[in-house]
C-alpha cells in the first residue's frame, strides 16, 4: 500500500474544487469554499501527523520544514480569502494567490517528496500505511475505491478487507475488494 497515491487523489479533489469555485458565482461559491477548507485542513493534518514526521529520515529536514512552512502559508492565505465575501473586491485575487500557493506545494510533493519516498523510503511507506488509513477515517477524508486500488496490491486489499470483516473476499477481483473496503471505511 502506497499512502502517497491516496494523497495524490486528495490533491486532484482539491484542484477540482478550485475549478468549481472559479466557475461558480456569488452565493454558489460559499458551500464550495467550505468544502475546500474542510478537505484541505484534514489533508494537511494527515500529512503533518502521519507522513512528515517519518519523511525526514528519507529526504532530510529541509524538505519537510519547507513543506510545513507552505502548509502554514496555505492556512493563512485560506483565512485571508475566507475573510472576504465572494462578491467583495479582492476576493478573486485572494483566491488566485491561495490557489497558486497550493499548486506550488503540490508540485513539490508530487515532483520531489513522493517520488523520493517511493524509491528510497518504501519501508517508511509500508510502516505508516495502517496509521495513515486510521487517521484518514478519523479525519473523515474520502475513501475512494479507485484511489485505494491504485495505491495497493490485490494481496494488501485482501488482507485489509478480511481485517475489516468483509465477507466472500476469496472470490473478489482487486476492484471489488477496493469497492468493498471503501464501503466499510466510509
Summarize as ranges the residues that interact with Fe ion (CB under 5 A). Answer: 7, 47, 109
**Cβ-closest residue to Fe ion?**
47
Helices (H), the chain: 3-23, 29-46, 52-59, 61-83, 91-108, 114-120, 122-139, 145-151, 154-163, 174-185
d(CA 29, CA 22) in angstroms, rounded, equals: 8
The answer to whether 157 touches 149, Cβ cutoff 8 Å, is yes
Q: Residue 20 CB, nearest distance to Fe ion (Å)?
A: 19
Of 42 and 177, the one with the shorter C-beta distance to Fe ion is: 42
Query: Closer to Fe ion at the Cβ: 109 or 156?
Result: 109
CB of 162 to Fe ion, least distance (A): 30
For the bound state, the minimum distance from the C-beta of residue 68 to Fe ion, rounded and expressed in Å, comes to 8
CB closer to Fe ion out of 70 and 179? 70
Amino acid at each position: 500500500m502506497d499512502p502517497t497515491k491516496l494523497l495524490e487523489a486528495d490533491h486532484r479533489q482539491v484542484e477540482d474544487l478550485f475549478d468549481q469555485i472559479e466557475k461558480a458565482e456569488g452565493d454558489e461559491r460559499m458551500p464550495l469554499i467550505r468544502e475546500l477548507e474542510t478537505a484541505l485542513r484534514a489533508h494537511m493534518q494527515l500529512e503533518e501527523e502521519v507522513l512528515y514526521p517519518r519523511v525526514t529520515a528519507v529526504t532530510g529536514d529541509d524538505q519537510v520544514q519547507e513543506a510545513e512552512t507552505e502548509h502554514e502559508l496555505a492556512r493563512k492565505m485560506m483565512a485571508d480569502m475566507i475573510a472576504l465575501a465572494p462578491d467583495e473586491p479582492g476576493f478573486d485575487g485572494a483566491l488566485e494567490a491561495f490557489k497558486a500557493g497550493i499548486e506550488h506545494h503540490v508540485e513539490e510533493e508530487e515532483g520531489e517528496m513522493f517520488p523520493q519516498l517511493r524509491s528510497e523510503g518504501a519501508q517508511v511507506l509500508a510502516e505508516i500505511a495502517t496509521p495513515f488509513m486510521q487517521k484518514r477515517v478519523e479525519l473523515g477524508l474520502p475513501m475512494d475505491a479507485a484511489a485505494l486500488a491504485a495505491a495497493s496490491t490485490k494481496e494488501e486489499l485482501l488482507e485489509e478487507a478480511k481485517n475489516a470483516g468483509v465477507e466472500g473476499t476469496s472470490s473478489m477481483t482487486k476492484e471489488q475488494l477496493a469497492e468493498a473496503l471503501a464501503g466499510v471505511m466510509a
